[in-house]
Amino acid sequence: CPFGIKSENAGRAGAIAAVVYNNGKGGLSGTLGQPSKDHVATFGISDTDAKPYIEKLQAGEVIESSAYIDAIVESIGTTNIVAQTKGGDPDNCVMLGGHSDSVTEGPGINDDGTGSLTLLEIATQLVKYSVNNCVRFAWWAGEEEGLLGSDYYVSQLSDEENMKIRLFMDYDMLASPNYAYQVYNASNAVNPVGSQELRDLYTEYYTVHGQNYTYIAFDGRSDYDGFIRNGIPGGGIATGAEGIKTRKEAEMFGGTEGEWFDHCYHQLCDTVDNLNMEAWELNAKLVAHSVATYAVSFKGFPE
């Protein structure tokens, strides 16, 4: 196998999913460790019911188990999967990631089975080729609970390891049923650590393939957030979540004006029937193109 595979526990200090849930017995339960105040997620309890607990956690209070009447707080560990080519310059890596978790409300096939499977297929195909730069794949844990896995990963990099990642490419939601080809507006004018080179690679690809595209905000709504906050250039593509397709976008991409890009976003119906296969195929090829490009060279990139 040409990949070194390593997995790591994302569930340590600063990246702990604090899960507040009803114990179903209407009685008292204990705490299983003090959750992180930065990352609080709720499960099996309404936001309203969870609110008092969350506020305490966020205020940094250490909550005794006896403080709980109908809920317990529990810390759970989650695991990132990271795989890197054995070949290629290990000091100059292109990294890409999708997230392997879904929301508790649904199976997460578009969000983000599409990104996860695209990466898996490309990793599988990449073994047939040699690379100049190392390629590092990540399947992030806990994205839906606040970008836990990717945040933790970046927070644990030494300065030296940080410098080896020349670029991070985010692949989340690649086949929304009412899709638009969305490119993060990672222009250097908008965000100093956005990669305009990567942005232009995506837009050129869509243009060459006779497709339109739109720019979307590079505002930290997916796993690239930890990277750009730590000075690692990033970018990515998506096909739309809960946003509403405009008339102009319906003209550009087809589909239905006035409806969500993904009407099953974060819902039970995000199944294998919730995919636009045409969008997925083109995007999967674009992801492969991005890997192929930067596995060969970072020519034109800032040092």
| 241 sits near ligand PHE (criterion: CB under 6 A) | yes
Q: Select from 41, 173, 264, 291 the one that contacts ligand PHE (CB under 6 A).
A: 173
Q: What does the alpha-carbon distance between residue 146 and residue 149 come to, in Å, rounded to a whole number? A: 9
CB of 111 to Zn ion, least distance (A): 4
| 172 sits near ligand PHE (criterion: CB under 6 A) | yes
Choose the catalytic residue: 55, 64, 74, 143.
Answer: 143
Indicate which of Zn ion, ligand PHE, none lies near residue 249 (CB less than 5 to 8 Å, by partner kind).
none
CB of 290 to ligand PHE, least distance (A): 16
Helix (H), strand (E), coil (C) string for 120-184: HHHHHHHCCCCCCEEEEEEEECCHHHCCHHHHHHHHCCCHHHHHHEEEEEEECCCCCCCCCCEEE
Q: Select from 238, 264, 282, 286 the one that contacts ligand PHE (CB under 6 A).
A: 238
Of 114 and 133, nearer to ligand PHE (C-beta) is 114
Q: What does the alpha-carbon distance between residue 183 and residue 174 come to, in Å, rounded to a whole number? A: 11
Of 145 and 197, nearer to Zn ion (C-beta) is 145
Q: How far apart are the first and last CA of the chain?
A: 31
Buried b or exposed e, range 9-42, using 16+ CB within 10 angstroms: ebbeeebbbbbbbbbeeeeebebeeebbbebbbb
Indicate which of ligand PHE, Zn ion, none lies near residue 262 (CB less than 5 to 8 Å, by partner kind).
none
| 225 sits near ligand PHE (criterion: CB under 6 A) | no
> Can you read off the two tokens belonging to residue 240?
């739309």
Kindly identify the residues of this chain, within the stretch 108-167, that bind ligand PHE according to CB under 6 A: 111, 143-144
Residue with the CB atom nearest ligand PHE in the bound state = 238
Catalytic residue flag (residue 143): yes
Q: What does the alpha-carbon distance between residue 71 and residue 23 come to, in Å, rounded to a whole number? A: 6
Q: What does the alpha-carbon distance between residue 179 and residue 302 come to, in Å, rounded to a whole number? A: 33
Q: What does the alpha-carbon distance between residue 84 and residue 252 come to, in Å, rounded to a whole number? A: 37
CB of 222 to ligand PHE, least distance (A): 4
CB of 99 to Zn ion, least distance (A): 5
Burial of 2 (0-12, 13-18, 19+ CB in 10 A): middle
Indicate which of ligand PHE, Zn ion, none lies near residue 134 (CB less than 5 to 8 Å, by partner kind).
none
The radius of gyration of the chain's CA atoms, rounded to the nearest angstrom, is 20
Indicate which of ligand PHE, Zn ion, none lies near residue 238 (CB less than 5 to 8 Å, by partner kind).
ligand PHE
Residues near Zn ion (CB under 5 A) are 103, 111-112, 172
Of 126 and 238, nearer to ligand PHE (C-beta) is 238
CB of 54 to Zn ion, least distance (A): 14
Report the DSSP beta bridge partners of residue 83.
5, 137
Of 172 and 225, nearer to Zn ion (C-beta) is 172
Indicate which of Zn ion, ligand PHE, none lies near residue 221 (CB less than 5 to 8 Å, by partner kind).
ligand PHE
CB of 92 to ligand PHE, least distance (A): 27
Indicate which of Zn ion, ligand PHE, none lies near residue 40 (CB less than 5 to 8 Å, by partner kind).
none
List interacting residues with ligand PHE (CB under 6 A): 111, 143-144, 172-173, 221-222, 238, 241
Residue positions annotated with a catalytic role: 143
